[in-house]
Amino acid sequence: MAPFKVLYARPCRSLVCWIEVGDTTALGPDILLKTTEKIKLIRQRLFTAQSRQKSYADKQRRPLSFEVGDHVSLQVSPRKGMLRFRKNGKLSPRFIGPFEILDCVEEVAYRLALPPQLDRVHNVLLVSMLRKYNPDPSHILSWVDVDIDKDVSYKERPVQILDT
């Protein structure tokens, strides 16, 4: 006797023998025909569910590719609670830049021309950390010397005390 039948006092319903409780037992080619029909139905429903999930995921994806000479912004820190470039909390910038693309290392990795202040950051970055920069003539950038750690964060220190 099978262990399942001993525990539950009924035969196990599996894909090999998928019969309802109380049905008469089918023998021979009938059981094979019913089993293959059930397997086809299961495969069709799995395919429907997979295609539905794929359509949801494809709406979120957008293929990114850059050319040499394009300008991109760099994602600063994806971790929550980290201090990012002089601002704390919601108002801290998520992207800095623009930086020029020097070389396409792979389909999803690019080498950037980073300034000396970012010498601790590796200059080959994945597409997921980059965003296309749209040039704006009124956009004026001023770089200040910021000591950045390896995890793209920094500690804020006062420059001078003005009043007590």
Residue pLDDT, tens place only, 146-160: 556 666 666 677 778
Q: How confident is the model at residue 44 (pLDDT cuts 50, 70, 90)?
A: very high
Q: Is residue 138 part of a domain?
A: no
Verify that 126 and 82 share a domain, yes or no. yes
Q: Could you report the per-residue pLDDT of 63-106, keeping only the tens digit for each?
A: 888 999 999 988 876 555 554 555 556 666 677 888 999 999 98
Is 66:103 a contact under the CB 8 Å cutoff?
Answer: no
Do both 9 and 44 map to the same domain?
yes
Secondary structure class of 99 (helix, strand, coil): strand
- Residue 162 domain-assigned (yes or no): no
pTM above 0.85, yes or no: no
- Number of domains present in the structure of the chain: 2
- 161 in any annotated domain: no
Co-location of 40 and 77 in the same domain? no
Q: Are residues 56 and 89 in the same domain?
A: no
Domain presence at residue 66: no
- Could you say which DSSP state residue 159 is in? S
Residue 76's domain comprises: 71-132
CB atoms within 10 A of CB 98: 19
